[in-house]
Chain A
Amino acid sequence: MKAMPFIICCMTIGLVLPVLAAQHNEYPVSPPPFSEGIFPCSTCHAGLAVNTRKRQLKDEHTAITLRHAEKERWCLDCHSAGNRDKLRLADGETIDFTESYRLCGQCHGNIYRDWKAGIHGKRTGSFTGGKRTYLLCVGCHNPHDPKFKPLKPEPPPVRPKAQYGK
Chain B
Amino acid sequence: MLSLGALAGLSLGNLSCTRRAREEFLQKHFREMTEADKAAVIGRLEAQYQQQYGKAVRVGTEPAVPGTLWGYGLDLSRCIGCRRCVYACVQENNQSRGNPQLQWIRVIRLKKGSLINLENSEHYYDPATVPEPGFMYMPVQCQQCENPPCVRVCPVKATWKEPDGLVVVDYNWCIGCRYCIAACPYKGRVFNWAEPTLPPQEINPEVHYLGNRPRMKNVVEKCTFCVQRVRKGRYPACVEACPTGTRKFGNLLDPASEIRYLIEHKRVFRMKEDLNTEPKFYYFFSA
Contacts and interface: CB of A to CB of B under 8 A. Distances in A.
Chain A interface helix/strand/loop/mixed = loop
How many chain B residues sit at the interface, stated as a range, is: 35 or more
Interface residues of A, number: 29
Given A117-B258, A148-B244, A150-B131, A127 B126 contact: no
A127 B235 contact: yes
Contacts of B286: 114, 119-120
A127 B233 contact: yes
7 contacts: A114-B286, A119-B261, A122-B239, A140-B245, A150-B129, A152-B129, A153-B82
Interface stretch (B18-26, B83-91, B163-171, B210-218): B83-91
Nearest to B65: A128
Given A150-B130, A151-B82, A126 B245 contact: no
Contacts of B123: 156-157
Given A122-B245, A140-B244, A154 B87 contact: yes
B95 to A, nearest CB: 11
B80 interface: yes
B262 A119 contact: yes
Given A117-B258, A121-B245, A127-B233, A156 B128 contact: no
A118 B258 contact: yes
Contacts of B106: 157
Contacts of A122: 239-240, 242, 245, 247
B258 A152 contact: no
